[in-house]
Amino acid sequence: MTERPTLTATPNNVGVDAAVAAARRVIAALLHAGDGSTAEMTDVAARLTEVAEHLEEHAPTCDERLVDMWAGEGVTRHDPVTGPENAVAPPLPLRGLPDGSIEGTVTLGLPYQGPPGCVHGGISALLLDHTLGVANHWAGDSGMTGTLAVRYHRPTPLFAELTVRGRQVSVDGRKIRTTGEIVANGEVCVSADGLFVNKHLPRPR
């Protein structure tokens, strides 16, 4: 039996994982805090700057990190959707299903707001673009996004569990068609139809 690919990198570094979790809390807390008092926010800024300067001082070169971020399970640990080492990622863990599709659940807060109380449309597109790409990886034929058509059916709510799904529909030479959706409370909020291009196959004559 062929071993199925890993879809989402899992946290495996206690120190990094704890630091990223703390950074996610800071991002959300700053948005919830609002203006605050000038004196309080000045103190917060000074402490955060001290942390940032410490990290920058001890960081390896960018070229080294570009390689290291891909090390491990064979999937990226730093992407802005599922990456456990990226504080910008919600994150959205994805799992493969027996029917060939993939699925994950996530709840998004204020860092991802567009209209009041709703997820930003660009964030929805980001989640779907990544999920469709992972669905291709799960199915066995993958490529780079060529086009992504996104349809917004209704507002996607913040602070509600969202189910994100993807499925590879067809493969025609280098062209791969994949679809997906974001569902909240049993209703499709956003759907997407993607055309991916497998760059590893020879170009047709």
Is pLDDT of 138 > 60?
A: yes
DSSP classification of residue 51: H
Is the same domain home to 126 and 174? yes
Residue 204 domain flag:
no
CA distance 78 to 66: 9
* List of E strands, 91-173: 95-96, 102-107, 144-152, 161-172
Residue 85 domain flag:
yes
Domain CATH number, residue 108: 3.10.129.10
Is the same domain home to 80 and 97? no
Q: Give the mean model confidence (pLDDT) for residues 154-173.
A: 97
Is the same domain home to 102 and 183? yes
Q: Which two tokens stand for residue 35?
A: 């203006």
* Dihedrals phi, psi of 95, to nearest 5 degrees: -135, 145
Which domain-ending residue is among 91, 118, 141? 91
Residue 167 domain flag:
yes
5-14 residue pLDDT tens = 778 777 677 7
Which domain-ending residue is among 91, 121, 151? 91
Neighbour count for residue 161 (Cβ, 10 Å): 12
Is the same domain home to 127 and 151? yes
CA distance 57 to 79: 23
Is the same domain home to 156 and 103? yes
Which domain-ending residue is among 32, 59, 91? 91
Residue 104 domain flag:
yes
| pLDDT on residue 85 | 86
Domain that holds residue 37: 1-91
Is the same domain home to 109 and 76? no
| pLDDT on residue 8 | 77
Is the same domain home to 2 and 47? yes
- Structural domains counted in the chain: 2
Residue 202 domain flag:
no
CA distance 14 to 21: 11
10 compared with 170, residue with greater pLDDT: 170
Is the same domain home to 98 and 139? yes
Neighbour count for residue 181 (Cβ, 10 Å): 18
Q: Is the peptide bond before 91 cis (omega within 30 degrees of 0)?
A: yes
| pLDDT on residue 3 | 63
Q: Give the mean model confidence (pLDDT) for residues 117-146.
A: 95
CB 113 within 8 A of CB 158: yes
CB 55 within 8 A of CB 87: no
| pLDDT on residue 136 | 94
CA neighbor of 92 nearest in space, from 112, 74, 68, 72: 112
| pLDDT on residue 201 | 61
Is the same domain home to 119 and 61? no
| pLDDT on residue 205 | 45
Does this model's pTM top 0.85?
A: yes
